[in-house]
């Protein structure tokens, strides 16, 4: 998993050379996730690590409208495990415009009015429905990002102050701090991407997208020092992600 981030970026850059309008923005991937999954099954794609889509120049309409233009492509990056060596590959797919069919007329319109059928069905349903029936939750509900526990505030503040003093006394330490931040970001990206591959849950893909776009240059010094300390396990890092997402999600355009 050490090279997942670089493989992802290199693969996206390879697609970009051929399709200048390609985007892997999480918003568009989620909007068309059903199409992605349908085409992946159709193309028998496995070990997918990248999804992207390209639209015509200057057109931001719906996918159905785009299909009619003949210029929409779906893109994937995937690992080819068929040989002795695992290699990243790409595939591009242009779906055909859906075939339009004539709308069906009213069923039984020669014998019944629609009002009679609807009302009788309603009465039958009302007589047989179990009002106490409840469907158990079987969907994924993510927990909110935890915030800093009041009991840890003093310890984190003291650690942050000590790090600030060290950097003030020796500015060359900032290079080490930045390197530790980069390692922290990369590790989080790899972890979330692995979770996505294991579960196929788009929640983890969204989380990975945040760390793919986050750069150390985006972060203020205080956050760099916090991340550096968390990377060295000077304190638990449970609150770090919430801090970073609140501060930079909008700036880097990641949900």
Residue-wise pLDDT tens digits, 33-62: 889 999 999 888 888 989 999 987 654 444
Strand order through the sheet with 73-80: 22-23, 48-54, 73-80, 87-93
Q: pLDDT band for position 246 (50/70/90)? A: very high
Residue-wise pLDDT tens digits, 62-75: 444 444 445 789 99
Query: SS3 string of 20-53?
Result: CCEECCHHHHHHCHHHHHHHHHHHCCCCEEEEEE
Torsion, Cα 214 220 226 228, to 10 degrees, reads 60
User: Is it the case that residue 112 has pLDDT exceeding 80?
Assistant: no
Q: What predicted TM-score, i.e. pTM, was given to this entire model?
A: 0.47
Query: Is 176 strand, coil or helix?
Result: helix
User: Is it the case that residue 159 has pLDDT exceeding 50?
Assistant: yes
Q: Where are the domains of the chain?
A: 4-93, 150-248
Is-contact 218 196, C-beta < 8 A?
A: no
Cα gap 107→114, rounded to integer Å = 8
CB atoms within 10 A of CB 63: 16
Which residues on adjacent β-strands are paired with residue 53?
Answer: 23, 74
**Tokens representing residue 2 in the block:** 């050490």
Cα gap 144→240, rounded to integer Å = 13
pLDDT score for 110: 53
Cα gap 249→255, rounded to integer Å = 6
Mean pLDDT over the full length of the chain: 83
Is-contact 255 206, C-beta < 8 A?
A: yes
Cα gap 209→225, rounded to integer Å = 22
Residue-wise pLDDT tens digits, 221-242: 999 999 999 999 998 899 999 9
Q: Give backbone dihedrals phi and psi of 84, rounded to 5 degrees, phi first.
A: -75, -15
Is-contact 152 236, C-beta < 8 A?
A: yes
């Amino acid at each position: 998993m050490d090279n997942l981030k670089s493989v992802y970026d290199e693969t996206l850059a390879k697609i970009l050379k051929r399709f200048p309008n390609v985007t892997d923005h999480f918003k568009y991937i989620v909007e068309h996730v059903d199409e992605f999954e349908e085409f992946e099954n159709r193309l028998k794609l496995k070990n997918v690590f990248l999804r992207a889509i390209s639209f015509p120049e200057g057109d931001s309409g719906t996918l159905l409208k785009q299909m009619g233009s003949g210029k929409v492509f779906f893109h994937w990056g995937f690992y080819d495990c068929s040989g002795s060596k695992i290699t990243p590959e790409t595939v591009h797919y242009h779906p055909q415009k859906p075939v339009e069919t004539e709308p069906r007329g009213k069923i039984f319109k020669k014998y019944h009015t629609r009002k009679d059928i609807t009302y009788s069905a309603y009465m039958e349903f009302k007589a047989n429905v179990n009002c106490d029936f409840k469907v158990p939750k079987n969907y994924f509900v993510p927990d909110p990002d935890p915030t800093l526990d009041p009991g840890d505030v003093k310890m984190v503040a003291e650690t942050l102050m000590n790090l600030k003093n060290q950097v003030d006394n020796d500015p060359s330490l900032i290079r080490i701090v930045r390197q530790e931040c980069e390692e922290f970001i990369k590790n989080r990206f790899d972890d979330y991407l692995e979770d996505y591959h294991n579960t196929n849950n788009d929640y983890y893909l969204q989380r990975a997208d945040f760390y793919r776009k986050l750069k150390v240059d985006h972060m203020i010094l205080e956050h760099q020092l916090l991340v550096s300390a968390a990377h060295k396990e000077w304190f638990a890092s449970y609150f770090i992600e919430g801090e970073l997402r609140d501060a930079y999600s909008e700036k880097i355009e990641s949900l």
